[in-house]
Structure 1
């Protein structure tokens, strides 16, 4: 995807090839609505775009970060991209000044969601929508593969960024505003009880857990004019330790 020429005010932005990807459960009911909103939004935001939507097949626990690793790996098989935007499927940008491009530092776009009262919930938050250049993504070994269930993976990614000598950049809080499509949490996306201990151990795990250790099986790839659906099997979470 070749982006159009942007105004000179976009200093610090890498104007290269960009792909946007979202991880979803196979039976997610928000996908068509989300793509409709994003189709309109991207006409304003960057004028040219391409989506990859990664579907996790089966009934096992959801793994957001691993699906994003899959999206990266599968997307670069078709073309050479320089910039990757990783977005949850239920978030809609509210301000067309929030440009989806890669910057000199890893970018956190969704800093002010309606569910958090349009404020950043805490300084190390990196969830929702983020952007990394290919160089930045590979420097942190991609995202962790071992966060099964809700929570923790975005904090692990933030740790990877800072441990590798980078800083998170963000838009102004008035610009990085998002609304969330209302929905119930999927039954296969319960909170991960191990997330807090894993976050504390990022320094020891990030070199062996990430894009370098990614394993999955592609079941189908369906290409449409504006986006590609990638359906995959990503395995099962390890058994949780018995209590007591």
Structure 2
């Protein structure tokens, strides 16, 4: 992996060309060491073969509160901004999903056209997910993610934050796209493998939070993000951010 050109913190840029895309891949985790090991060893060669200038940022949540995927994504975005490297786009990526084909583009989407990437999953027998599905692996330009105020911080436990992100992008008149929309014969290139794991218990309150969400789009997200960074390490294969987050707006900055 060192010989491939990966730099400390999980950074890479091709030496034989100038990449047109500077991508930050944000991965939220907790208690997923085995999956993260597989993910890193698979994704680095995959991204390199696409000749991308990229970084992998892993945001790990402490054990104190229920898991909050949306907030961890927001933290990854914030921490990437603090690196002052001007990433053009962000790919928000679950650790248990792996793209099966190199032809699946991890390039930056255009402004105004966020991309739903994980819509053909082996766990769904590769049947395309519904058009309003916007989770698993999603790509947004930096401008678009800021314009929608990021993910909601209000979803504690499994489910709901990706549905509300879809509502947010639609509220800003952004056009959600999928790879190969114009070339349906190539849709097989967008397939994903799901690493096996224990299914999380759904958050029983998620539907109510989704219903109430539109009234909080401008106040719940990047703008009110609070967290305590417990550790920051630039590891050989990724930048690791360990955080403590708490519900009900009681977090420390």
Cα distance in 2 for residues equivalent to 1:229 and 1:28: 12
Cα distance in 1 for residues equivalent to 2:172 and 2:214: 10
Structure 1 residue 98 corresponds to structure 2 residue 112 = no
After the TM superposition, which parts of structure 1 deviate over 6 Å for at least 4 consecutive aligned residues?
none
- Consecutive unaligned residues of structure 1, counting only runs of 5 or more, are 7-14, 239-244
Would you say the 8 A contact 2:108–2:141 is kept in 1?
A: yes
Q: Give the aligned partner of residue 4 of structure 2.
A: none
Q: Select the residue among 136, 139, 145 that pairs with 2:147.
A: 139
Q: TM-score, normalised on structure 2?
A: 0.84
Cα distance in 1 for residues equivalent to 2:22 and 2:114: 16
Q: Give the aligned partner of residue 129 of structure 1.
A: 137
Q: Deviations over 1:213-236 (max 9, x none)?
A: 100000001102442011000114
Q: How far 1:2 sits from its partner (Å)?
A: 5.6
Structure 1 residue 195 corresponds to structure 2 residue 195 = no
Cα distance in 2 for residues equivalent to 1:176 and 1:200: 31
Q: Deviations over 1:41-67 (max 9, x none)?
A: 212233543100000011421110100
Structure 1 residue 61 corresponds to structure 2 residue 63 = no
Instruction: Give 3-state SS (helix, strand or coil) of 1:137's partner.
Output: helix
RMSD: 1.9
Q: Deviations over 1:115-134 (max 9, x none)?
A: 11112221200111011111
| Bigger mean CA deviation after superposition, 170-179 or 212-221 | 170-179
Cα distance in 2 for residues equivalent to 1:19 and 1:225: 16
Q: Give the aligned partner of residue 160 of structure 1.
A: 168
Richer in helix (by share): 2
Q: How far 1:103 sits from its partner (Å)?
A: 1.5
Q: How many residues align?
A: 227
Q: How far 1:237 sits from its partner (Å)?
A: 6.2
Cα distance in 1 for residues equivalent to 2:56 and 2:129: 28
Q: Select the residue among 12, 17, 23 that pairs with 1:18.
A: 23
Cα distance in 1 for residues equivalent to 2:248 and 2:157: 9
Q: Give the aligned partner of residue 86 of structure 1.
A: 92
Cα distance in 1 for residues equivalent to 2:13 and 2:42: 22
Q: Give the aligned partner of residue 30 of structure 1.
A: 35
Going from structure 1 to structure 2, the CA distance change for 1:237 and 1:36 (only over 3 Å counts) comes to: farther
Cα distance in 2 for residues equivalent to 1:77 and 1:91: 27
Q: TM-score, normalised on structure 1?
A: 0.86
- Consecutive unaligned residues of structure 2, counting only runs of 5 or more, are 1-11, 181-186
Would you say the 8 A contact 2:156–2:203 is kept in 1?
A: yes
Q: How far 1:5 sits from its partner (Å)?
A: 4.9
Would you say the 8 A contact 1:113–1:178 is kept in 2?
A: yes
Would you say the 8 A contact 1:46–1:100 is kept in 2?
A: no
Cα distance in 2 for residues equivalent to 1:27 and 1:90: 9
